[in-house]
Structure formats: structure tokens, C-alpha cells
Amino acid sequence: MLRVGWFSTARGDSSRNLLNSVFTSIQNKDLDASIEYVFCSRERGESPKTDLFIEQVKSYQIPLLCLSVRKYAEMFHEKIAASDEILPPWRLEYDRQVMKLLEPFRVDICLLAGYMLIVGQEMCEKYDMINLHPALPNGPKGTWQEVIWQLISNYATESGVMIHLVTPQLDRGPVVTFCRYPITGNAFNKLWDEIKGYELEKIKIEQGENNELFKRIRREGFIRETPLIIETLKALSYGDIKISNKSIFDRTGKQIKGFDVTDRIDKLISKCKYIE
């Protein structure tokens, strides 16, 4: 059984939906794993969405650990800057306090699921931590919004979603699993034609995230995120892939640069109502 540690900031509905999907897969015995604890970087009372998440975790009878990064920052009269790759001393100390909370637990993998903080070097070295990034290996970095705008700017023909090992370098840890999908052909061609001749900045100003091409790319990526996480945990549980010394190996012991699960994800997606 794969023992999982769950990390979240629990800012919105997607955090709850993802936890529910994985928990349900475990309950249905589709996934041979257990969630040993949930760590949240917010505490009750900081956000209605977070409060709902906390109640959800308790209803699943999973141990819940909370340490508010906002309150911790205020102790040092600092502001939170989650995008900073060079972490200030107070943030490294925050990580150390989190690790103290986790000492009673033993897990095989830590999953960052909507955890909106860069993880420092000490924590990355102590645990095997994985994170979802909405791009192909060696693809665009940044938030999903930034990724999509870069794809449009580059007239990309495909994109993907990957799970990677967490390192202090944003979105650049060794790739664990990934899937790809086309963003040309069929429903896409008309949308690409609609933006021909327009400068990207004008599209951003006039339409922003309501642009139909932007929305279509986001949809195709979004519907693959939860299946990819579940398939990754399955692959780790079944021994299809292994993590050792911060490198990824297949079941034969060969080091790989990511396990391609596109076919598996496509089969799941083909049964989904989102695909036309």
C-alpha cells in the first residue's frame, strides 16, 4: 500500500474535488493507497473555502495538521511571496516547523495538491514530494494561465500535464509522469483562425481568459489533471515507476525521464462527458 502525505493551501473548490476523487478511488479499492495525513498551510477562520476543506478532511477521518503561513509571516513582519524561488529565512523556518509536525508520520510520497508555496531545499531533500504542472516536460513554466498564454504566443501544436518531483527550482524537478494532448485540429483550428492577425496583448486586454482558444486549451488540460494524479499514484503503488535518490526508474530498474501515461489518460477521458 502506498502511503501518501497530502499538502494543500485549500484556496478553492478544486482542492476539495481533488481530495474527494483520490479518497473515493481509495475507498472503492481502485487505488491501493492510504492518505496518512493532510497538511494545510491555512487554519480555520482564514477562508470559507479552507473551512470547508478542513471539515471535509475531518469527515474522512484523516489526521489534519495546520500551520498558517500568513500568521507565521506576520510574526516576522513579512509578506508572503509564493513565487520567490530564493526563500527568505522566515520561510525556511516555516518549513522546519512543518517538518516537526510531520515527524510522527511515515509516508512513501508527499503530494502537493493546490499547495501554493515554494518548498525549500531542506524539505525537498527530506521527502519525495510530487506536484502537478499543467504543461509538457520542458514546456512553459508558471501558473496555468501563464502556460496557456505562452502556448498561444508560440503557436504550439500540443500541450500536456505532468507530475514532477518538487525542487526549489519552480516547475523543473525530474518528471515522474506525463500525458500529452493536441491543441490543433478538429475544434481547435477554427479558434486559431479567429486570433490570426491579432497581437497577443490586445487579446489579453480585450478578451482575457474569456478568449475561446484560451478556454478550450484550459479545458483539455483541466480534465486530465485529476486522472493523471490518480494514475501516477497507481503507477507508484503497482511498481510501474519508482523514485530513488531523486531519480525516476521503471519497473526494470531503468532510469527514465518521465513515464508516459497518455494512452491511459485518453482511455479514461474518452468515457468522460467533457469530450465531444
The predicted-structure confidence for 210-255, as pLDDT tens digits, reads as follows 999 999 999 999 999 999 999 999 999 999 999 999 999 999 999 9
Collapse the DSSP code of 33 into the 3-class scheme (helix H, G, I; strand E, B; otherwise coil) and give the result.
strand
Strands (E), 74-233: 109-112, 129-133, 158-165, 175-182
Q: Residue 2: enclosing H or E segment and its boundaries? A: strand 2-8
The pTM (predicted TM-score) of the whole model is 0.90
The predicted-structure confidence for 138-160, as pLDDT tens digits, reads as follows 899 888 999 999 999 999 999 99
Give the confidence band of 259 by pLDDT, cuts at 50, 70, 90: very high
Q: Residue 198: which domain range?
A: 2-270
What is the CATH classification number for the domain harbouring 98? Answer: 3.40.50.170
The total domain count for the chain is 1
Is residue 53, in this structure, part of any structural domain at all? yes
Is residue 220, in this structure, part of any structural domain at all? yes
Is residue 66, in this structure, part of any structural domain at all? yes
| Alpha helices (runs of H) in 45-111, residue ranges in sequence order | 48-59, 69-75, 89-102
* Residue 48 burial (CB count, 10 A): 8
Is residue 275, in this structure, part of any structural domain at all? no
Is residue 276, in this structure, part of any structural domain at all? no
98 vs 84, higher pLDDT: 98
User: Is 13 a residue whose pLDDT tops 60?
Assistant: yes
Is residue 146, in this structure, part of any structural domain at all? yes
Amino acid at position 130, single letter: I
Is residue 240, in this structure, part of any structural domain at all? yes
Collapse the DSSP code of 106 into the 3-class scheme (helix H, G, I; strand E, B; otherwise coil) and give the result.
coil
CB 123 within 8 A of CB 92: no
Is residue 81, in this structure, part of any structural domain at all? yes
